Amino acid sequence: MSVPLILTILAGGSTFIGALLGIMGQKPSNRVLAFALGFAAGIMLLISLMEMLPASLATQGMSPVLGYGMFIFGLVGYFLLDRMLPHQHAHDLIPGQNAPRNLKRTAILLTLGISLHNFPEGIATFLTTSSNWELGMGIALAVAIHNIPEGLAVAGPVYAATGSKSSALFWAGLSGVAEIVGGLFAFLLLGPNVSQVIIAAVMAAVSGIMVALSIDELIPLAKEIDPHNNPSYGILCGMSVMGLSLMMLQMWTVG
């Protein structure tokens, strides 16, 4: 049990590498910040629609009704929670007045979204390594690689909103800790006989949350912060980087 836990901790801890990259140098400009938000949206959209939801639907015993139902549940749940919380949306911002506060809120939501993704990812890493440690090592390596841009995506907005490097490291690290918590949860409560349908249902709901967060929060705010540039560039770059890391995951799995 020590090897799966160690690999899960190392994979989650790689988020700090991206966080360090996000706080190095001067405080990012609006253009860089908007790119980072688009980059984060690209990461989350690709993870949700190309990895988590298809994997959930392909799980043995998971019906399409339950899978898509949980995805819609995640979407609707996010929007309900978003409307219940008092805040301003990106299109309501007055440039130069409320942007920092709104950015901080967005960064916290981004941390929550990535944490929700990392939690079942930690469970998957632990359970895979428990049954096949060689395969688990490959998965842990690929997870660690694609956790780096996630840490960068969280640390950049937090640093821009607060000007505090320690806060940026804290929030980015928190998203990585969620993966470690997922591994510990699997170790303490689930064990190797956990129902794959339960994990698949959680993954489907989390993918819905991440899609809603990207479309409703990240992309509009990126356009609001830097209206003269297209956030699509950041989105496409985020998708490309995450796609490469997932390709490495597939290569390690096949190998």
C-alpha count within 13 angstroms, C-beta hemisphere, residue 146: 31
Residue 90 has what pLDDT? 39
pLDDT digits 0-9 by tens, 149-190: 778 777 877 777 777 888 888 888 888 888 888 888 877 876
pLDDT in tens, 16-69: 888 887 787 655 577 877 887 788 788 878 878 887 788 889 888 899 999 999
Q: To 10 degrees, the CA torsion angle through 179, 182, 188, 194?
A: -140
pLDDT of residue 64: 93
Three-state secondary-structure class, residue 98: coil
Q: What is the pTM of this model?
A: 0.64
Segments of 115-255 assigned E as strands:
none
Residues whose CB is less than 8 angstroms from the CB of residue 25 and which lie 6 or more positions away in sequence, other chains included:
none
What is the average pLDDT value for the chain, to the nearest integer?
76
How confident is the model over 183-223, as pLDDT tens digits? 888 778 765 566 778 778 877 887 888 888 788 877 887 88
Instruction: Select the more confidently predicted residue: 197 or 248.
Output: 197
Asked if residue 85 has pLDDT above 60, the reply is no
Residues of the chain with pLDDT > 90, as a percent, come to 7
b/e sequence 226-244, b meaning 16+ C-beta within 10 Å? beebebeebbebbbebbbe
